Amino acid sequence: MESYLNPDHYDLVTPDGAISNLQPISSTALDATVFIDKISPVFKGYDLDNNQIEFNGKSTLAQLGLDLLCKEFILDRKNSCAEVLIHIQAVNELGQAMLRYLRVGCVVGKLFAADPRRLVRNPDYLSRMFGRSDRKGRPLLSLGGMQGSNDLILDVTDGRTIAYLTLQYGRVEYPDSIFGLLPTLAKALCARQPVRSLLRLHQEWSPHANLNCEPGKLLLVRTLPLHIRTVFAKVVDKLLPQGFRHTSANVLQPDTQASGDIYELYGKSDHEISDIPLEFYTLEPHREHVFFRDRDQLQASLENPNALFKAFETGPKSEDLRAAVFVVKGEQMQNLTEKDWVVRDSLTHEFPGPTQGMRQAAMVERYIQQQPSYPFLKAIQEGLISSQGILLVRHFPSPLMKRMLLSEPVQRCLKGIYFLHPSQSMDEFFSQEDRSLLLDLATFAIPVFWVDQTNNQVLQYALKSRKGTAMFVPSEKVQSFLQATVFGIYGSNLIQGHFEDELHALLTGILEMKEESDHPMLSPKIPLALITGGGPGAMEIGNRVAQNLNILSCANIVDFRPKDGSVVNEQKQNPHVEAKMTYRLEQLVERQSEFHLDFPIFLMGGIGTDFEYCLEEVRRKVGSTSTTPILLFGTPEYWESKITSRYKQNLESGTIKGSEWISNCFYCVQNASQGLQVYREYFNNRLPIGKDSPSYPEGFVRVGIDLFSSDD
């Protein structure tokens, strides 16, 4: 897979080849053997018929009057090389002079694979590039300017797109001084040095010269500068006017910034030529400079969860291996194989810490380079990958990759991260550093998706920036999550109690109330969500009822798997969770702080529920959340035994002086009807709650006695 991430080649061309043997034929011709080595293993020519492979002569030689015609060639895949027998023909006097300076070692051309599968057939593929540029501001495709030109005419001929480049009226000619440059040009070719700029110094423009061909002469014509960054272009000889022939230097490469302004023609014709016909061949998908929004097939695949799960199934079979692949088009995703993935072994790393700063930095850098996503991110930074695409990774990227992920080139190119598992060492649970990276990725507008095998759904990371809370949510419900008023269930993971019917009735009543309310937190336009801890017991009740009522069912899930010395019951995720965030056990308090419930509801619970009660109490006391009513489902006696003695002790000792009112935030209800009464009064701004309302000696309000009593 990593072989194509090599900046030294495109897969439709070989490197330049040098003459290894010369055989003079006449004063105007010679035969030569050209040797080409270091051919990429992904060169498309290895798998094409010989008649689809052409020899492309160097344009410098063509502009001097030499045409290099391929007679035969041998491609050696095993040794990554080729031998090409060419016939070099001089078409003018200058070409004959240059023949005498050619020698063994001169670089004269390369092989081009005219792969019919890569022909551009739809003109829209090219026209959508007009007016666009790469990250350095260079046009992707233009003729004479950033916005393209009316002189570039796109047509369809024989099932392929043809561009007709209008010629400027006149021709390029040489003064006699050009003959003195020929020895230098030959030496430069042997030294593999660029020479086109030297040649341009001797080219003169004759604006009124005609554009016909005469035997023994070279016709050098000019168009406006053609910028191509997205395709190969090739002159189509069959579409030239009768009597005109282009030299074998007929392929324009995308790595030149202003190629295609001079074309070399010879032959015999009394008629003038008016334009140059070009056909186009696409680059490797990752080099096409294609924008994500233009990849309709890829976007359709990403909207299909089955397509994503199938793509991940093509990864390495061993689950211990880390793996990644960068995908830029739908066809690529649909045809992924195991060899397409960059794979890395799973190794444990321990860093020495800041006391050994230089060693720490070196080890971190080495660790980064061992990540499977590293080759792709580096290729993006270096400009080798220019098409926008998505990164599929078996495990969520290490937080140490943050520097690369948030770099400007990657941000422009990376349009999504899709992963199977949050962590290799901790399975489904994110670390604090992971969540920090997720926040940064959201800030930099890089979408992140969890291809979750637990529920066989694709979840998108969604951040409520106003509250600083985030979850992985089904993509089609992200907007609902972001806008939702959030209810929440706290309670025991051990017992479900008898609350399900009442909770169903309560939430049903809220949905009905919502349709008639115009409160900022409850109205027909505001969706609802419900959050639990995601485990069994009371949490499962909450998620099940929410899911049944089409309320977004969410969970903040902690790693409660058994550990040495642990007395915590394992809490497996219940099957009714739609949206979630996960936490490692050491982030238990942090997890609790990220519930951000608008309306908490407490069921019967133990130590964990007591802890959650205290946090909700503190939130309202310090003002970090709105003063909203909290329902306590159960008998007054149960909640009195939980709450009253502590509240009274704080009251008597004076440690909650000025905060006694906190008691009016908690409402003990024994059925859904009482809970709906509390909410109805709140949403109608009639509920006595907050600093300016009375306090209650038991630490909570008994609905039906303290509130809504029979005397009211």
Tokens standing for residue 54 = 């052409």
**Average pLDDT estimate for 650-669:** 94
Is residue 30 within 8 Å of residue 72, measured between CB atoms?
A: no
Given a cut of 80, whether residue 576 has pLDDT beyond it is: yes
Given a cut of 70, whether residue 116 has pLDDT beyond it is: yes
Q: What is the mean pLDDT of the chain?
A: 90
Between 323 and 492, the more confident residue is 323
Give dist(CA 154, CA 124) in Å, integer.
9
Burial 318-338 (b: 16+ CB within 10 A, else e): eeebbbbbbbbbbebbeebee
Give dist(CA 244, CA 232) in Å, integer.
22
- 85 sits in which H/E element: strand 81-90
Tokens standing for residue 14 = 């070989």
Q: Just give the CATH number of 288-301+319-328+338-453.
A: 3.40.140
- What is the phi/psi pair of residue 258, to 5°? -150, 60
Pairing relationship of beta strands 599-602 and 579-583 according to DSSP bridges: unpaired
Residue 548 class from Cβ within 10 Å (0-12 exposed, 13-18 middle, 19+ buried)?
A: middle
Label residue 142 by pLDDT band (50, 70, 90): confident
**Average pLDDT estimate for 165-171:** 91
Nearest to 35 by CA among 78, 68, 75, 92: 75
Give dist(CA 393, CA 441) in Å, integer.
15
**Average pLDDT estimate for 166-192:** 94
**Average pLDDT estimate for 567-585:** 83
Tokens standing for residue 114 = 């005219």
Reduced to 3 states, what is the DSSP secondary structure of residue 502?
Answer: helix
Residue 2 class from Cβ within 10 Å (0-12 exposed, 13-18 middle, 19+ buried)?
A: exposed
**Average pLDDT estimate for 485-493:** 90
Q: Which amino acid is at 242?
A: Q
Label residue 708 by pLDDT band (50, 70, 90): confident
Share of the chain above pLDDT 70, in %: 94
Nearest to 444 by CA among 412, 467, 474: 412
Give dist(CA 34, CA 8) in Å, integer.
20
**Average pLDDT estimate for 309-317:** 94
The Cβ of residue 101 has, within 10 Å, a number of other Cβ atoms equal to 16
Between 500 and 144, the more confident residue is 500
Domain 1-116: top CATH class: mainly beta
Given a cut of 60, whether residue 279 has pLDDT beyond it is: yes
Least confident of 115-124, 125-134, 234-243: 125-134
**Average pLDDT estimate for 244-250:** 96
Give dist(CA 608, CA 711) in Å, integer.
37
Pairing relationship of beta strands 552-558 and 579-583 according to DSSP bridges: parallel
| Span 594-620, pLDDT tens digits | 788 999 999 988 888 899 999 999 999
Given a cut of 90, whether residue 568 has pLDDT beyond it is: no
Give dist(CA 295, CA 389) in Å, integer.
9
The per-residue pLDDT for 226 is 84
- What is the phi/psi pair of residue 113, to 5°? -95, 105
- 123 sits in which H/E element: helix 123-127
- What is the phi/psi pair of residue 609, to 5°? -70, -40
Nearest to 152 by CA among 160, 161, 138, 142: 142
Given a cut of 80, whether residue 688 has pLDDT beyond it is: yes
Tokens standing for residue 360 = 């720490």
The Cβ of residue 362 has, within 10 Å, a number of other Cβ atoms equal to 11
- 266 sits in which H/E element: strand 262-267
Give dist(CA 301, CA 378) in Å, integer.
26
**Average pLDDT estimate for 651-668:** 94
Q: What residues form DSSP beta bridges with 668?
A: 632, 702
Pairing relationship of beta strands 322-327 and 342-344 according to DSSP bridges: antiparallel
Give dist(CA 402, CA 439) in Å, integer.
11
**Average pLDDT estimate for 661-677:** 95
Given a cut of 60, whether residue 565 has pLDDT beyond it is: no
Label residue 260 by pLDDT band (50, 70, 90): low
Pairing relationship of beta strands 275-282 and 226-228 according to DSSP bridges: unpaired
Q: Which amino acid is at 202?
A: H
Is residue 422 within 8 Å of residue 396, measured between CB atoms?
A: yes
Residue 700 class from Cβ within 10 Å (0-12 exposed, 13-18 middle, 19+ buried)?
A: buried
The per-residue pLDDT for 712 is 44
Label residue 247 by pLDDT band (50, 70, 90): very high
| Span 101-110, pLDDT tens digits | 999 999 999 9
Domain boundaries, the chain: 1-116, 288-301+319-328+338-453
Q: Which amino acid is at 103?
A: R
**Average pLDDT estimate for 672-682:** 96
Share of the chain above pLDDT 90, in %: 70
Label residue 288 by pLDDT band (50, 70, 90): confident
**Highest-scoring range by mean pLDDT, 183-197, 485-499, 671-685:** 671-685
Pairing relationship of beta strands 552-558 and 528-532 according to DSSP bridges: parallel
Nearest to 441 by CA among 372, 393, 375: 393
**Average pLDDT estimate for 682-697:** 94
Tokens standing for residue 104 = 């063994």
Given a cut of 50, whether residue 477 has pLDDT beyond it is: yes
Nearest to 69 by CA among 115, 113, 34, 105: 34
Radius of gyration, CA atoms only, the chain: 36
Lookup result for tokens 């043997």: 21
Is residue 389 within 8 Å of residue 377, measured between CB atoms?
A: no
Reduced to 3 states, what is the DSSP secondary structure of residue 354?
Answer: helix
- DSSP designation for 329: S
Label residue 564 by pLDDT band (50, 70, 90): low
Give dist(CA 364, CA 398) in Å, integer.
11
